[in-house]
Amino acid sequence: MDLLIVGTVAYDAIESPYGKTDKILGGAATYIGLAAAKLGVTSSIVSVVGEDFEKNHLDLLTSNKIAINGIEIIKGGETFFWKGKYHNDMNFRDTLETRLNVLENFSPKIPKENTSPSIVMLGNLSPSVQLEALQQLTPKPKLTVLDTMNFWIENTLNDLLNTIKNVDVLIINDEELRLLTNETKINKGAKKIQEMGPKTVIIKRGEYGSVLFNENETFILPAMLLDKVVDPTGAGDSFAGGFVGYLTKSKDLSFNNLKTALVYATIAASFCVQEFGTEGLTNTSLADFENRLNEFKKLTQY
C-alpha cells in the first residue's frame, strides 16, 4: 500500500512553559508524514507553500521518504504561519497570530502518479478542500481517513458533513465530538458519526488516550504517561500519521490491526510532544520507537 497525505505544510512560532521558538517547520501534513516515516513508510504530500519556504525543510521531508512533487510552491507567496502560546494546562492554547497566506486560495492538485493511493489521509483543512482532493482520486482508495477541528464544525458544517459522508475513518477529539453530535457520552456520539458515513470513528482524549469504534467493536486505549510535555503542537497529526503509517505498512484493515495502529498512533504522539515542533519526531530513532512500544505494552496490558 502507499500513502497520500493532503494537508498543510507550514511555519509555526510556539511559546510554552518550557520556552519559545522562532519560525519553525510545522503543518499537519508535515507531522503526519514524519510520523509515518518513523515506521519506514514512504508517503507523498499534497500541499502548498510560499517562495519563503526553505530548501532545507523540503530536504528534511525528502530525507524522510516523503515525496514533495505534490507540494506547490507559489512564487511571491508566503507560507501559512501560525503563532500560539500554551499555558501550564497544556490542554488550552491561545492563538496569537494566524496568517493564511498561500493557504487562502489553496486548490489541491494531486500529481497524476499519486491519484491512486491505497490510503489517503486528509489532514485538518477546509472540508471543501479535503473533498476537492478526494474527488481527484481514482479508483477510490482502500481507506480514507479524515481529521478536522472545531473551526470547521462551527463555520462550515454543511461542507464538513458533505465531506464526512465520503470517508471511512473520522479522527476527532472529545470536544469536537460533543460539538458535532451534541453527545457527552462518546459511545453515543460515535454512533451518530457512524450514521453520517464513517464506519470507523476514533476519539482522541488528549493525555487520557483514545477510543476506536468500528461497527460492532470498540477499543479503549490510554495514552503514554510522560514526565513532561514541552509542546503539544502536532500531537493529533502525529497520532494520525502513526495510525495511517502502520496501516500502510501492514496492509491489513481488520479491526485487530486497527487496534495495533492505534497503539502506533499513541506512541507517535507521545514522541511529538516531548520537544518543540517536529524535533520530537525527527530526533526519535526506530529503536526508540520500538522500545516505547514495548514499554507501553507493559504499562497497559494485564
Q: Which residues bind its own copies (CB under 8 A)?
A: 88-89, 184-188, 205, 208-209, 211, 218-222, 225-228, 256, 259-260, 263, 299-302
Strands 169-173 and 66-74 turn out to be: unpaired
Nearer to its own copies (CB atom), residue 205 or residue 249: 205
CB of residue 265 vs its own copies: minimum separation in angstroms? 12
Q: Is the peptide bond before 17 cis (omega within 30 degrees of 0)?
A: no
At residue 217, what are phi and psi to the nearest 5 degrees? -130, 150
Nearer to its own copies, 10 or 263 (CB): 263
Q: How far is the CB of 222 from its own copies (least distance, A)?
A: 4
CB of 292 to its own copies, least distance (A): 13
Beta carbon of residue 200, minimum distance to its own copies (angstroms, whole number): 16
Query: How long, in residues, is the chain?
Result: 302
Nearer to its own copies, 24 or 219 (CB): 219
Per the CB < 8 A criterion, the answer to whether 102 and 50 are in contact is yes
* Residues in a beta bridge with 213: 201, 218
- CA dist 17 and 15 (Å) reads 7
Cell triple for 208: 487520557
Sequence-distant (≥ 6) Cβ neighbours of residue 171 within 8 angstroms: 145, 146, 147, 202, 204, 236, 239, 240, 243
Pick between residue 162 and residue 214 the one whose CB is nearest to its own copies: 214
CB 116 within 8 A of CB 142: no
Shorter beta-carbon distance to its own copies: residue 29 or 203: 203
Minimum Å gap between C-beta 170 and its own copies is 18
DSSP bridge partners of 121: 5, 145
- Minimum CB–partner distance for residue 287 and its own copies (Å): 22
Which C-beta is closer to its own copies: that of 56 or that of 302? 302
Q: Which grid coordinates are listed for 257? A: 490491526
For the bound state, the minimum distance from the C-beta of residue 87 to its own copies, rounded and expressed in Å, comes to 11
The DSSP secondary-structure symbol of 29 reads H
Our CB check for its own copies shows the closer of 158 and 301 to be 301
Amino acid (one-letter) located at 36: A
Interacting residues of 203 by C-beta distance below 8 A, sequence separation 6+: 172, 173, 174, 177, 186, 189, 190, 210, 211, 213
- Residue with Cβ nearer its own copies (146 or 190): 190
Closest distance of CB 264 from its own copies, Å: 11
